[in-house]
Amino acid sequence: MQEKLKQIAAAAQAEIITDKHTLEAFRIKYLGTKGIMKEVFEAFKQVPNEEKKSLGQLINVLKNELETLYTSKKEAFENVSEQASNQDDFTKPGIKVPQGNRHPINIIKNDMIAIFERIGFTIAEGPEIEDEWHNFTALNTPEDHPARDMQDTFYIDSNTLLRTHTSPVQIRVMETQTPPIRIITPGRVYRNETISARAHCTFHQVEGLYINKNVSFADLKQTLLYFAKEMFGQNVDIRLRPSYFPFTEPSAELDISCFICDRKGCAVCKGSGWVEIGGCGMVDPAVLENCKIDAKEYTGFAFGMGIERITMLKYGIDDIRLFYENDIRFLKQFA
């Protein structure tokens, strides 16, 4: 019987299996209900008991061999037929890979960075969790100063807060670097405001700071004019309105001429022909001194602009909440 098993194994290995049909014939011949293995098991019943153990093992080995041979061929044929059908049918529609795109806030932020980098500004960043010194005190806003009410603050504890503007980064840079300093600081800020179409509890600003000898208000104005024209088009003009910020003296609000109606008056500029995009001014000497910079030797200008505001103007978006809802229908318009 052992000899017979060897012959079966050799014959099975020698079978020529080229396709699904010859494979099925193989299965019926060796593993089918009336196949060779069935005969072997029948013959096994007649084997004397003392031979049963060793012979039984050999039979199992043979059966496994045949089954392995069968399944490996079967899998090979299945793969081949799949490949063939994919390769052959060039009329099948392709598989579309979904492609993401930048968030509109990031697009405009990167544009703003590129514009200021062209005139020598570098990027500085600071923490979003700030202390009172950097967010208020060093920026010439002492405790009990009414200016603190201008910005509704999220406090973490009495000394720690979510920064209400990017101006604290000015302080961090001036504390650690010596002039000349020429930085912009894009980043996220937080305010405890009621959420509406025009206001959100979190938004983004780009702060600018230039400290050197003989920096003048004219330098500030020229820098902002350059930015406005690069960002909104060469026909755009700027206007500076006297204002108040604790950290600048003099201070101004920055308006650009309305590029949507070309200053004729529309819904966006509310008929005035001008839209506000930020604040600016000459760095208050007290702020320089807080950072150990000699205010007799150095002067500087600073500005802060809202990225959401500029993005809404650029793209004609009328609700700030859209930026944070992650609605794919909104976001994919900026691809």
Site of interaction with ligand DAH (CB under 6 A) = 165, 167, 207, 245, 248, 279-281, 302-304
Minimum CB–partner distance for residue 274 and ligand DAH (Å): 17
Where are the extended beta strands (E) located within the chain?
122-123, 129-131, 155-157, 160-162, 181-190, 202-212, 238-245, 248-257, 274-283, 299-306
Task: For residue 113, give every residue at least 6 positions away whose Cβ sits within 8 Å of its Cβ, in sequence order, or none.
Answer: 123, 184, 186, 206
Amino acid at 113: I
Cβ contact 307:231 at 8 Å: no
Q: Which is nearer to ligand DAH, 25 or 129 (CB)?
A: 129
Amino acid at 143: E
Minimum CB–partner distance for residue 280 and ligand DAH (Å): 5
Minimum CB–partner distance for residue 99 and ligand DAH (Å): 35
Q: Which is nearer to ligand DAH, 147 or 261 (CB)?
A: 147
Q: Which is nearer to ligand DAH, 140 or 257 (CB)?
A: 140
Minimum CB–partner distance for residue 147 and ligand DAH (Å): 10
Tell me, rounded to whole angstroms, the distance of Cα 94 from its chain centroid.
27
Q: Which is nearer to ligand DAH, 62 or 291 (CB)?
A: 291
Residues pairing with 238 in the sheet = 256
Q: Which is nearer to ligand DAH, 248 or 257 (CB)?
A: 248
Distance set, CA 101 to CA 9, 106, 296, 322, 332 (Å): 61, 10, 48, 16, 7
Minimum CB–partner distance for residue 91 and ligand DAH (Å): 59
| Closest residue to bound ligand DAH by CB | 304
Q: Which is nearer to ligand DAH, 104 or 281 (CB)?
A: 281
Question: Phi and psi dihedrals of 158, rounded to 5?
Answer: -65, -20
Tell me, rounded to whole angstroms, the distance of Cα 120 from its chain centroid.
26
Minimum CB–partner distance for residue 287 and ligand DAH (Å): 10
Q: Which two tokens stand for residue 282?
A: 């000459």
Cβ contact 254:303 at 8 Å: yes
Q: Which is nearer to ligand DAH, 166 or 257 (CB)?
A: 166
Q: How far apart are CA 304 and CA 301, in angstroms?
A: 11
Q: Which is nearer to ligand DAH, 280 or 313 (CB)?
A: 280
Minimum CB–partner distance for residue 107 and ligand DAH (Å): 22
Task: For residue 148, give every residue at least 6 positions away whose Cβ sits within 8 Å of its Cβ, in sequence order, or none.
Answer: 136, 141
Minimum CB–partner distance for residue 191 and ligand DAH (Å): 9
Q: How many residues does the chain have?
A: 335
Task: For residue 202, give every residue at least 6 positions away whose Cβ sits within 8 Å of its Cβ, in sequence order, or none.
Answer: 188, 189, 190, 191, 324
Q: Which is nearer to ligand DAH, 210 or 232 (CB)?
A: 210
Minimum CB–partner distance for residue 148 and ligand DAH (Å): 12
Q: Which two tokens stand for residue 239?
A: 């206007």
